[in-house]
Structure 1
Amino acid sequence: MPLLRGRRSLWHRTDLKGLRAIVADGAIKPNDGSLPSSYETSIDIGHAGYRLGGVCLFDFDTAPLDDVHWAAQHWHQFLSCFHPATVVLELNRQNLAAGALIEQDGPSWKPPPHQPPGSRSPHYPRWIPHVEAWYKGPIQLGAVSRILVFRAFSGDKYEEVGAVDNAVTTVERLAAEWAADDEKTSSGHMHGLRAAMLAAHRRHFG
């Protein structure tokens, strides 16, 4: 948590493909349903970011630490959901328009319900309690203060990327290195398993 809490920052998570699009566009854009998403998005209910028309963010500073820890059951995969690399952009709050930022107002906050056509009752869109926030409108790259790249299945090991201009090249290199290393490790495990099975077969059958 020291990495994510205590800097009054907001965080946006994406993958290499998403980073390429962000750098090409010069901004993080809200998903109107036309962009790839790691969430299942329904035009009827969907995720809160889709319904609110905002960029999905994480805020680990505003809620009490106990609530952040409780919500970890929903956001624990935040740093490792993409293989071989998850890209996390740190955003400076001072570079964001306060009126466009939607934050959860207390522990009982819920997003506005939506009543799909033909439904008898309204439904709440999906959201992560306590730590999720949204920004209505694109977030310009000037608001990005740091870019971190987390390696999948590594215990939250990460590399800090330098300038935004070189971010895609750097992340592509890291992703290729990590994928190759994971493939080598996987092949080694399979070779060891085959050797163990062969040894067991020889012990039993001579």
Structure 2
Amino acid sequence: MLGYERLKEEAQKLIPLLRGYLWHTTSVDGFREIYSQSSIKVNRGDLPKAYTQSQCSNCFEEGAISLFDLITHRDKDLIGEDLLLLDKWPEVMFRHRPTIFLGIELGSVASNLLFYPELKRRRGLGGIIPRIEVCHVGDIPFQIVKKVGVCREKEISNIVFFSKIDDAVSSLVK
């Protein structure tokens, strides 16, 4: 794991790249499955666990899909001086190598989102990354994905975005 200062530096470069979308991250195989099924499916225990804590997450408990919210919080709230926060979300976001980013506009899913305060009211402590993680209740149709990126590098801010969704599909679904 990167040291705090290096992680903070990478996060400061990463956040502007992802700003303006909700992001779901997955593996290349996960992307292929999402594309073949035409949706990001809720993991009800029948899909491979993407992260060792997945079944303890509030999103899993709510029958929801975990998304990273790079819309509703200021950069300093996502980076802050809180090592636990900064140490957690990049690790979860980049758990796959390469990491595939699926960008979704807030307006297309807003009515199905559960944010941190509501999840804490329902579920209590633990199970969600404060501020940056939100839960989408139900499946997400692939057609509402507006941006696709790939990070193959060690530097987390080195994401290559496809200019068209079809280009991503051609490159990643072989």
Give the TM-score taking structure 1 as reference length.
0.66
1:166 CA displacement: 4.5
Q: Which residue does the alignment assign to 1:148?
A: 149
- The number of residues matched between the two structures is 156
Does structure 1 residue 21 correspond to structure 2 residue 33? yes
The unaligned stretches of length 5 or more in structure 1 are: 114-122, 174-206
Indicate the SS of the match to 1:67.
helix
Task: Return the alpha-carbon distance in structure 1 between the equivalents of residues 157 and 96 of structure 2.
Answer: 12
User: How does 1:87-126 map onto structure 2 within 5 Å?
Assistant: 87-96=100-109, 98-105=110-117, 110=120, 112-113=122-123, 124-126=125-127
Task: Return the alpha-carbon distance in structure 2 between the equivalents of residues 16 and 127 of structure 1.
Answer: 24
Give the TM-score taking structure 2 as reference length.
0.77
- Give a deviation string over 1:18-67, Cα, whole Å, max 9, x none: 10110001011111111112222586xx1111101101101022234332
Task: Return the alpha-carbon distance in structure 1 between the equivalents of residues 92 and 170 of structure 2.
Answer: 23
Task: Return the alpha-carbon distance in structure 1 between the equivalents of residues 102 and 127 of structure 2.
Answer: 22
Indicate the SS of the match to 1:105.
helix
The unaligned stretches of length 5 or more in structure 2 are: 1-14
Q: Which residue does the alignment assign to 1:77?
A: 91
User: How does 1:48-87 map onto structure 2 within 5 Å?
Assistant: 48-70=58-80, 71-78=85-92, 80-83=94-97, 85-87=98-100
Q: Which residue does the alignment assign to 2:45?
A: 33
Aligned-residue RMSD, C-alpha = 2.5
Q: Structure with the greater relative contact order (CA < 8 A, sep ≥ 6): 1 or 2?
A: 2
Letter in 2 for 1:100: N
Letter in 2 for 1:145: K
**Percentage identity across paired residues of the two chains:** 27
Larger Rg: 1
Q: 1:30 to 1:69 in 2, by over 3 A?
A: same
Letter in 2 for 1:88: F
Letter in 1 for 2:65: V
Letter in 1 for 2:86: A
